[in-house]
A = this chain, B = another copy of it.
Amino acid sequence: MPSIKDVAKKAGVSVTTVSRVLNNRGYISKETRRKVEQAMKEIDYTPNQIARALQRNQTYLLGVIVPDSNHPFFAELIKYIEMYAHEQNYKILICNSADNREKEEKYIAMLRENRVDGIIMCSHTLDIEEYKKVKLPIVSFDRIIAEDIPYVCSDNFRGGTLATEYLISKGCQRLLHISGPLDLDMLSNRRADAFKLTCMNHNIPFKIIECEFNKLTFDYYWQLINDKVSRELDHFDGVFCSNDMVAYALYVYAYQQGIKVPEQLKIIGYDFHSFTRMLQIPKLTTIKQPIDNIGKILCSTLIKMVTGPEEEMISNTIVDVELIEGDTA
C-alpha cells in the first residue's frame, strides 16, 4: 500500500507537511491541504491505524466477551455496543465464551495480546482474582467483580418486585419463580430476592426452581419445563420467569396441555429483547430491560476509563426497567 512518503512525493511537499494535514496540527494553507488530499486520493493512500496504534499506545479496539452472540439478548446488546463504539471511533472484537472457563481465559489472553483498550465482560466464569490480573480497563455486565471494576445492570430488584406485584394484583395466590442459578453471585439474582420478599410481604406461598448455569437455549428451558416445572403447575397460579425464553417455553407447554393462560395460569417474563418483540402469539407480559441504554452505558463507561484521568472515580450504573403488559398475565 502507498505510504506517507508517496503522498509527499505526489503532492510535491515534505513528509512533515503531509503528517500535519493527517493530524490536523500546525498551520497549513488551504491550497497545500487541497494538494495533499488530492494526492492521497490519486494514489489511494490509506492511513495505517496499526502503525498509529503502536505509536500512540492506543488501538481503539474494545473486546466484548459474551456467552453466545446469537442469543437474542446478547445479539441486541452487541448491536448497540457496536453502534455507540462506532460513534466514538472504536471498533469491537466479539468473543463467544460459551460460558466456558477455558475459552474465556483464552479470549482474555488474545485480547491482551492484541492490546485492546478495554473489555466489556458479559461472561462470568472466572474467579474474581483472575479478572483482577487482567490489568486492562474492564466494565462488567450484571456482576460485581471488584471495587475498581464498574458494573452496569438493569434494576433487577425493582424488576422482580414489579413482576411479582403485578401477578399478585391480577389475583395470583400461589407463585412460582424460575430463576437463574442462585449459587453464582450474579446481580440478576436480585430478581429472586425481590420475588421472595414481595411474596412474604403479601403472605403468598411461593417456590423457586433454578436453571443450571451455562444453559441459555430454548431446548434446555423446554426440558426444564417438562422435567421440573410441569409437576408443580397444579399448585401454582402464577409464574415469574427470569427470562423471556423460559416464559415462552412455559406458555407453549401450557398451551399444549390445555392450561388456559392467563385465566388458569399467569406468566410474566423478563428481557423484552427482539425475539419477544417479534413474538405475537402470545404477546408476552414481561419486564423490559433497556438493552439500548445498557449497551450505551457499557460503552461510555469503558471509554471513560480508557481516556479519562486515572484518579477519576468511575461509578456503577443501574438502569431502570419497565413493565410491558401483554396477553399472558
Interface residues of A (CB under 8 A from B): 1, 44, 46-51, 53-54, 59, 68-70, 72, 75-76, 78-79, 82-83, 86, 91-96, 109-110, 112-115, 133, 135, 218, 245, 248, 252, 255, 274-275, 277-281
CB A253 to nearest CB in B, in angstroms, measures: 9
Determine if B277 and A252 form an interchain contact, defined as CB atoms under 8 angstroms apart: no
A-B contact sample (16 more), CB < 8 A, given A50-B59, A82-B94: A44-B133, A46-B109, A46-B112, A48-B113, A48-B115, A49-B113, A51-B54, A70-B274, A72-B75, A75-B75, A78-B94, A83-B96, A86-B96, A218-B278, A248-B280, A281-B281
Is chain A's interface secondary structure helix, strand, loop, or mixed overall?
Answer: helix
Closest CB-CB distance, A161 to chain B, in whole Å?
28
A109 proximity list for chain B (CB < 8 A)? 46
Contact of A96 (CB < 8 Å), options: B48, B82, B113, B252: B82
A75 in contact with B69 (CB, 8 Å): yes
A199 to B245, CA, bound (A): 39
Shortest Cβ distance from A106 into B: residue: B86
Q: Which residues of B contact A92 (CB under 8 A)?
A: 93-94
Is A113 a contact partner of B79 (Cβ separation < 8 A)? no
> Could you tell me if B50 and A115 are in contact, using CB atoms closer than 8 angstroms?
yes
Give 8 A-B contacts (CB < 8 Å), ordered by A residue.
A1-B135, A50-B114, A72-B275, A82-B95, A82-B96, A83-B96, A252-B280, A275-B275
Are A79 and B68 in contact, with the CB atoms below 8 A? yes
Whether B94 and A110, one on each chain, are in contact in the complex, defined by CB atoms closer than 8 angstroms, is no
In contact, A49 and B135 (Cβ under 8 angstroms): no
Instruction: State the CA gap A69–B78 with chains docked (Å).
Output: 8
Query: When the two chains form their complex, are residues B82 and A76 in contact, meaning their CB atoms are under 8 A apart?
Result: no
Nearest chain B CB to A61's CB is how many angstroms away? 8
